[in-house]
Amino acid sequence: MRGRMLILVLSMLPKHALSRAAGWLATRTVPGRWRGPVYRTYSRVFGARPEEAALPLEQYPTVNAFFTRTLRPGLRPLAADAIVSPVDATVGAYGIVKDDTLVQAKGRNYSLAALLGDRELADCFEGGTYTTLYLSPKDYHRIHFPVSGNVTAATYIPGELWPVNVAAVANVANLFAVNERIVVEVEGERGGRMAIIAVGATMVGMTRLAFDDLHTNARRREVQHRRYDPPIAVETGGALGHFEFGSTVVLVCAPDAGTIEPLADGATVRMGERLGSPPAAAPTGDLNMPDVRVPTED
């Protein structure tokens, strides 16, 4: 009941304006003497770990800088020969892509084609595996690549900004496919395609990429699609982007890109931990990547 009431209230509020306002506030400079107390209080309330931050708390000039902090070197070792978790998160769902369907929550499914905004792309993932990874305010907010390979395309899809917590997932139909999101397409170094979908949410000022200026909650509210020629080479654990607060990542693997292994709903994962197995060996010869990649918007 409380979840339905929350969604009802949010349905009447200007969520994009509120999120932009939150983003603006988060970029205001915090006086130096207040920074330690402010960030430590935030950490106690939400359960964040300020001791993992790469810098002393006093060196983060804004709340947003603290939200998007990097970590001290060595805290997130990368599992060897694995598809690794791109984020610190809680598992919201796991499954096999069947008939274009992914599970949002018990009793709620949604369309992969709607999530990706591309029916032809969605067909590539039929029979593959996926997982939904929820980042709460306590989590490390940066997103990393789960495998080495090449980024071939990225698409910003405007939409709603519903929250992505448990209450919203249970009560908003097609939540991940109607919220703002960025779809990043990766061809693995051993072949196969992955899609990494960064889903925006209420009070997330922006979701930003590390290799492009695409971001969510843009004032230009239209689909923006980029293809890259040459593709952008990336390494496992390399920077993909960040959330300016918490949100959700949906990771989808085509059958020839490896397999995400079964994950229990509610399980906690950390960036760099093993999620699954890549293909056994790199293919011989040309990867035969589909489509011509160009460096500008379509």
The letter for the amino acid at 1 is M
CATH topology of domain 83-277: Glucose Permease (Domain IIA) (2.70.70)
Instruction: Please tell me whether residue 115 adopts helix, strand or coil conformation.
Output: helix
Band (pLDDT 50/70/90 cuts) for residue 45 is: very high
Query: How much is the pLDDT for 296?
Result: 41
For residues 166 and 156, is the Cβ–Cβ distance under 8 A?
no
Candidate list 19, 43, 85, 247, residue with the active-site label: 247
Please say if the pLDDT value at position 29 is more than 70: yes
Q: Which residue has the higher pLDDT, 131 or 14?
A: 131
Domain ranges of the chain: 1-68, 83-277
The tokens describing 288, both together, are 């035969």
For residues 21 and 13, is the Cβ–Cβ distance under 8 A?
no
pLDDT in tens, 101-119: 999 987 789 999 999 999 9
d(CA 142, CA 250): 14
Candidate list 16, 141, 144, 215, residue with the active-site label: 144
Distances (CA, A) of 197 to 72, 81, 84, 91, 179: 26, 23, 15, 15, 11
Q: 144 catalytic, yes or no?
A: yes
Query: How much is the pLDDT for 14?
Result: 55
As a whole number, the mean pLDDT across the chain is 87
Query: How much is the pLDDT for 91?
Result: 96
% of the chain residues with pLDDT over 90: 66
pLDDT in tens, 32-42: 999 999 999 99
For residues 145 and 205, is the Cβ–Cβ distance under 8 A?
no
Q: 212 catalytic, yes or no?
A: no
DSSP-derived letter for residue 281 is S
Q: 215 catalytic, yes or no?
A: no
**CA nearest to 190, candidates 93, 106, 281:** 281
d(CA 52, CA 277): 28
Candidate list 43, 88, 100, 139, residue with the active-site label: 88
Tally Cβ neighbours within 10 Å of residue 246: 21
CA 228 to chain centre: 20
d(CA 238, CA 154): 16
Tokens 């988060």 locate to 26
